[in-house]
Structure 1
Amino acid sequence: MNKILLGGLAALALVAGIAPAAAQTVEFTVINNSSYDLHYFYTTPSNEDHWGDDLLGDSGVLEAGYQATATIGDGSDQCLYDFKFVMDNGAELIEPEIDICQLSSYTIND
Protein backbone atom coordinates (compact mmCIF):
# COMPACT_ATOMS: atom_id res chain seq x y z
CA MET A 1 0.00 0.00 0.00
CA ASN A 2 2.61 2.55 1.01
CA LYS A 3 4.70 1.55 -2.03
CA ILE A 4 1.88 2.74 -4.30
CA LEU A 5 1.60 6.02 -2.41
CA LEU A 6 5.34 6.60 -2.41
CA GLY A 7 5.52 5.81 -6.12
CA GLY A 8 2.93 8.47 -6.88
CA LEU A 9 4.64 10.99 -4.66
CA ALA A 10 8.03 10.14 -6.19
CA ALA A 11 6.62 10.80 -9.66
CA LEU A 12 5.47 14.22 -8.49
CA ALA A 13 8.95 14.88 -7.12
CA LEU A 14 10.46 14.11 -10.54
CA VAL A 15 8.16 16.65 -12.17
CA ALA A 16 9.18 19.18 -9.53
CA GLY A 17 12.79 18.94 -10.69
CA ILE A 18 11.76 20.64 -13.94
CA ALA A 19 10.38 23.70 -12.13
CA PRO A 20 12.06 27.10 -12.46
CA ALA A 21 14.91 27.93 -10.10
CA ALA A 22 12.80 30.45 -8.13
CA ALA A 23 10.15 27.85 -7.40
CA GLN A 24 10.37 25.71 -4.29
CA THR A 25 9.94 22.02 -3.71
CA VAL A 26 8.71 21.20 -0.22
CA GLU A 27 8.59 17.78 1.43
CA PHE A 28 6.76 16.97 4.64
CA THR A 29 5.25 13.98 6.39
CA VAL A 30 1.51 13.42 6.25
CA ILE A 31 0.32 11.43 9.25
CA ASN A 32 -3.13 9.89 8.97
CA ASN A 33 -4.13 9.74 12.63
CA SER A 34 -7.81 9.46 11.72
CA SER A 35 -9.92 6.33 11.65
CA TYR A 36 -10.48 6.65 7.87
CA ASP A 37 -8.28 5.98 4.86
CA LEU A 38 -7.20 9.07 2.93
CA HIS A 39 -8.12 8.70 -0.75
CA TYR A 40 -7.31 12.16 -2.15
CA PHE A 41 -4.99 14.96 -1.09
CA TYR A 42 -5.14 18.23 -3.02
CA THR A 43 -3.20 21.43 -2.47
CA THR A 44 -3.21 24.92 -3.92
CA PRO A 45 -1.44 28.15 -3.11
CA SER A 46 -3.85 30.12 -0.91
CA ASN A 47 -3.92 32.98 -3.41
CA GLU A 48 -5.33 30.72 -6.17
CA ASP A 49 -8.83 29.38 -6.61
CA HIS A 50 -8.33 25.90 -8.08
CA TRP A 51 -7.02 22.65 -6.60
CA GLY A 52 -3.91 21.04 -8.01
CA ASP A 53 -3.56 17.36 -8.88
CA ASP A 54 -4.15 14.67 -6.28
CA LEU A 55 -0.82 14.15 -4.51
CA LEU A 56 -1.69 10.51 -3.84
CA GLY A 57 -1.93 9.72 -7.54
CA ASP A 58 -4.37 7.48 -9.37
CA SER A 59 -4.11 4.46 -7.10
CA GLY A 60 -2.66 5.90 -3.90
CA VAL A 61 -4.31 5.55 -0.52
CA LEU A 62 -2.91 6.55 2.85
CA GLU A 63 -4.48 4.10 5.25
CA ALA A 64 -5.60 5.10 8.74
CA GLY A 65 -2.67 4.93 11.15
CA TYR A 66 0.01 5.29 8.47
CA GLN A 67 2.22 8.14 7.31
CA ALA A 68 4.01 9.06 4.09
CA THR A 69 6.14 11.80 2.62
CA ALA A 70 4.32 14.36 0.49
CA THR A 71 6.09 16.59 -2.03
CA ILE A 72 4.74 19.87 -3.32
CA GLY A 73 6.69 20.92 -6.37
CA ASP A 74 4.15 22.80 -8.43
CA GLY A 75 6.37 25.69 -9.44
CA SER A 76 4.90 28.16 -6.98
CA ASP A 77 7.05 30.39 -4.78
CA GLN A 78 4.22 30.82 -2.22
CA CYS A 79 4.42 29.61 1.39
CA LEU A 80 0.71 29.65 2.27
CA TYR A 81 -1.22 26.69 0.87
CA ASP A 82 -4.70 25.32 1.31
CA PHE A 83 -5.02 21.55 1.83
CA LYS A 84 -8.02 19.40 0.91
CA PHE A 85 -8.26 15.85 2.21
CA VAL A 86 -10.96 13.45 1.01
CA MET A 87 -11.47 10.37 3.17
CA ASP A 88 -12.86 6.96 2.21
CA ASN A 89 -16.25 7.81 3.73
CA GLY A 90 -16.52 10.86 1.44
CA ALA A 91 -15.81 13.39 4.19
CA GLU A 92 -13.77 16.40 3.10
CA LEU A 93 -11.44 18.37 5.33
CA ILE A 94 -10.17 21.72 4.05
CA GLU A 95 -7.38 23.41 5.95
CA PRO A 96 -6.64 26.97 4.75
CA GLU A 97 -3.35 28.86 4.82
CA ILE A 98 -0.89 26.20 5.94
CA ASP A 99 2.66 27.61 5.90
CA ILE A 100 4.49 24.91 3.94
CA CYS A 101 7.80 26.81 4.24
CA GLN A 102 7.79 26.00 7.98
CA LEU A 103 6.05 22.60 7.75
CA SER A 104 7.80 19.35 8.68
CA SER A 105 4.66 17.26 9.23
CA TYR A 106 0.90 17.50 9.06
CA THR A 107 -1.43 15.25 11.05
CA ILE A 108 -4.97 14.40 9.99
CA ASN A 109 -7.24 13.72 12.97
CA ASP A 110 -10.90 12.72 13.29
Structure 2
Amino acid sequence: MKKFRFAFLASAAVLCASTAAHAEDLVFTLKNGTNSVLNNFYASPTGVDSWEDDIFGRQALGPGEEMEITVADGRSVCRYDMRFEFQGEDLDTTTDTQDLCEMGSYTIHE
Protein backbone atom coordinates (compact mmCIF):
# COMPACT_ATOMS: atom_id res chain seq x y z
CA MET A 1 0.00 0.00 0.00
CA LYS A 2 2.88 2.37 0.78
CA LYS A 3 4.36 1.75 -2.69
CA PHE A 4 1.02 2.58 -4.30
CA ARG A 5 0.70 5.79 -2.27
CA PHE A 6 4.25 6.85 -3.20
CA ALA A 7 3.62 6.10 -6.90
CA PHE A 8 0.38 8.08 -6.79
CA LEU A 9 2.07 11.07 -5.12
CA ALA A 10 4.95 10.94 -7.60
CA SER A 11 2.49 10.82 -10.50
CA ALA A 12 0.56 13.76 -9.08
CA ALA A 13 3.77 15.78 -8.70
CA VAL A 14 4.76 15.10 -12.32
CA LEU A 15 1.28 16.06 -13.51
CA CYS A 16 1.38 19.33 -11.57
CA ALA A 17 4.86 20.13 -12.90
CA SER A 18 3.81 19.51 -16.50
CA THR A 19 0.68 21.63 -16.04
CA ALA A 20 2.80 24.47 -14.69
CA ALA A 21 5.09 24.26 -17.70
CA HIS A 22 2.13 24.54 -20.07
CA ALA A 23 0.90 27.60 -18.15
CA GLU A 24 4.07 29.41 -19.28
CA ASP A 25 3.43 28.77 -22.98
CA LEU A 26 2.70 31.90 -24.98
CA VAL A 27 0.04 31.35 -27.66
CA PHE A 28 -1.05 33.84 -30.33
CA THR A 29 -2.16 33.89 -33.96
CA LEU A 30 0.36 35.08 -36.54
CA LYS A 31 -1.20 36.50 -39.71
CA ASN A 32 0.69 37.11 -42.94
CA GLY A 33 -0.70 40.40 -44.29
CA THR A 34 1.93 40.59 -47.04
CA ASN A 35 1.98 39.39 -50.64
CA SER A 36 5.02 37.18 -49.99
CA VAL A 37 5.55 33.75 -48.44
CA LEU A 38 6.90 33.95 -44.89
CA ASN A 39 9.50 31.17 -44.66
CA ASN A 40 11.03 31.68 -41.22
CA PHE A 41 9.83 33.17 -37.96
CA TYR A 42 12.06 33.67 -34.94
CA ALA A 43 11.13 35.04 -31.51
CA SER A 44 13.44 35.71 -28.59
CA PRO A 45 12.76 37.51 -25.33
CA THR A 46 13.82 41.14 -25.49
CA GLY A 47 17.37 41.46 -24.19
CA VAL A 48 18.53 38.04 -25.37
CA ASP A 49 21.48 38.54 -27.74
CA SER A 50 20.70 35.70 -30.17
CA TRP A 51 17.69 34.34 -32.01
CA GLU A 52 15.99 31.17 -30.79
CA ASP A 53 15.25 28.35 -33.28
CA ASP A 54 12.96 28.94 -36.25
CA ILE A 55 9.43 28.47 -34.89
CA PHE A 56 8.06 27.39 -38.30
CA GLY A 57 10.47 24.51 -38.71
CA ARG A 58 9.62 23.14 -42.17
CA GLN A 59 6.37 25.08 -42.50
CA ALA A 60 5.76 28.39 -44.25
CA LEU A 61 2.97 30.96 -44.09
CA GLY A 62 1.52 32.08 -47.41
CA PRO A 63 0.05 35.50 -48.16
CA GLY A 64 -3.21 36.01 -46.28
CA GLU A 65 -2.76 32.86 -44.20
CA GLU A 66 -2.63 32.63 -40.42
CA MET A 67 -1.16 30.13 -37.98
CA GLU A 68 -1.46 29.58 -34.26
CA ILE A 69 1.99 30.05 -32.74
CA THR A 70 3.04 28.53 -29.42
CA VAL A 71 6.24 29.81 -27.84
CA ALA A 72 6.93 27.01 -25.37
CA ASP A 73 10.22 28.24 -23.98
CA GLY A 74 9.18 28.00 -20.31
CA ARG A 75 9.86 31.68 -19.71
CA SER A 76 7.36 33.97 -18.05
CA VAL A 77 8.10 37.04 -20.19
CA CYS A 78 5.83 38.88 -22.60
CA ARG A 79 8.09 41.18 -24.63
CA TYR A 80 9.64 39.38 -27.58
CA ASP A 81 11.84 40.48 -30.44
CA MET A 82 10.58 38.90 -33.65
CA ARG A 83 12.34 38.25 -36.95
CA PHE A 84 10.50 37.49 -40.19
CA GLU A 85 12.27 36.07 -43.26
CA PHE A 86 10.44 36.01 -46.59
CA GLN A 87 10.84 33.86 -49.68
CA GLY A 88 12.59 35.50 -52.63
CA GLU A 89 13.64 39.10 -52.75
CA ASP A 90 10.22 40.77 -52.66
CA LEU A 91 10.52 41.70 -48.99
CA ASP A 92 13.57 42.22 -46.81
CA THR A 93 13.96 40.51 -43.45
CA THR A 94 11.81 42.40 -40.96
CA THR A 95 12.10 42.71 -37.19
CA ASP A 96 9.73 44.01 -34.53
CA THR A 97 9.30 43.98 -30.74
CA GLN A 98 5.91 43.47 -29.12
CA ASP A 99 4.26 42.49 -25.84
CA LEU A 100 2.77 39.22 -27.08
CA CYS A 101 0.85 38.55 -23.86
CA GLU A 102 -1.43 41.51 -24.56
CA MET A 103 -2.01 40.54 -28.19
CA GLY A 104 -4.22 37.67 -29.23
CA SER A 105 -2.88 38.02 -32.75
CA TYR A 106 -0.09 39.72 -34.68
CA THR A 107 -0.24 40.67 -38.37
CA ILE A 108 2.95 41.27 -40.33
CA HIS A 109 2.48 43.92 -43.05
CA GLU A 110 4.63 45.08 -45.96
The question of 1:72 aligning with 2:74 is answered no
Q: Aligned residues: percent identity?
A: 32
Which protein is richer in helix relative to its size? Answer: 2
Whole-angstrom CA distance in 2 between matches of 1:78 and 1:109: 25
TM-score, normalised relative to structure 2: 0.75
1:65-102 CA-to-partner distances (Å, cap 9, x unmatched) read 11110011112111110000001125201002x10111
| CA distance in structure 1 between the partners assigned to 2:109 and 2:41 by the alignment | 14
Structure 2 gap ranges (5+):
1-16
In the aligned structure 1, how far is the partner of 2:37 from the partner of 2:47? 29
What's the counterpart of residue 107 of structure 1?
107
Two-structure CA RMSD over aligned residues (Å): 2.2
Residue 94 of structure 2 corresponds to 93
Count of residue pairs brought into register by the alignment: 92
Q: Output aligned runs, 1:10-89, within 5 Å.
A: 21=21, 24-57=24-57, 59-89=58-88
Instruction: Report runs of 4+ in structure 1 exceeding 3 Å deviation.
Output: 17-23
Q: What are the ranges of 5 or more consecutive residues in structure 1 without an aligned counterpart?
A: 1-16
